[in-house]
Amino acid sequence: MTTSLADIQSAFQNRLLTGADDLMPLLANGGRFFKVYDNAYSLRLLEVLAEDFSALHTLLGDQKFEQAMRAYLADHPSQHTSIRWLGRHLTEWLGRTEPWRDHRELADMAAFEWALGLAFDAPDAPVLESETLADVAASEWPSIIFSFHPAFRTVDLLWDIIPFQQIVTRDDTPTAAPMPLEHPATWAVWRDPDSLSVCYSQLDKGEAKALNAAREGATFADLCTLLAETADETVDENAAAHAAGMLKSWIDNCWITGLAIKDNDKP
Task: Using CB under 8 A, list all residues that contact another protein.
Answer: 2-6, 8-10, 12-13, 16-17, 25-29, 31, 33-34, 36-37, 40-41, 44-45, 77-84, 86, 120-125, 150-151, 191, 196
Q: How far is the CB of 154 from another protein (least distance, A)?
A: 19
* Dihedral of alpha carbons 130, 131, 136, 138, sign: positive
Q: How far is the CB of 93 from another protein (least distance, A)?
A: 17
Nearer to another protein, 18 or 166 (CB): 18
DSSP 8-state symbol, 3: P
Which among 32, 26, 2, 1 is positioned nearest to 12, based on CA atoms?
26
Phi, psi of 125 (to 5 degrees): -155, 140
Q: How far is the CB of 198 from another protein (least distance, A)?
A: 9
Q: How far is the CB of 184 from another protein (least distance, A)?
A: 29
Nearer to another protein, 139 or 197 (CB): 197
Nearer to another protein, 85 or 225 (CB): 85
Strands 180-191 and 153-159: antiparallel
Nearer to another protein, 45 or 224 (CB): 45
Q: Which amino acid is at 8?
A: I
Q: How far is the CB of 65 from another protein (least distance, A)?
A: 19
Q: Taking the CB of residue 244, how many other CB atoms lie within 10 A of it?
A: 15
Nearer to another protein, 7 or 229 (CB): 7
Whole-angstrom distance, CA of residue 200 vs CA of residue 2: 58
List CB contacts of 153: < 8 A, sequence separation 6 or more: 115, 118, 119, 188, 189, 190
Nearer to another protein, 42 or 238 (CB): 42
Strand order in the sheet with 180-191: 153-159, 180-191, 198-203
Task: Report helix, strand or coil for 7.
Answer: helix
Q: How far is the CB of 131 from another protein (least distance, A)?
A: 24
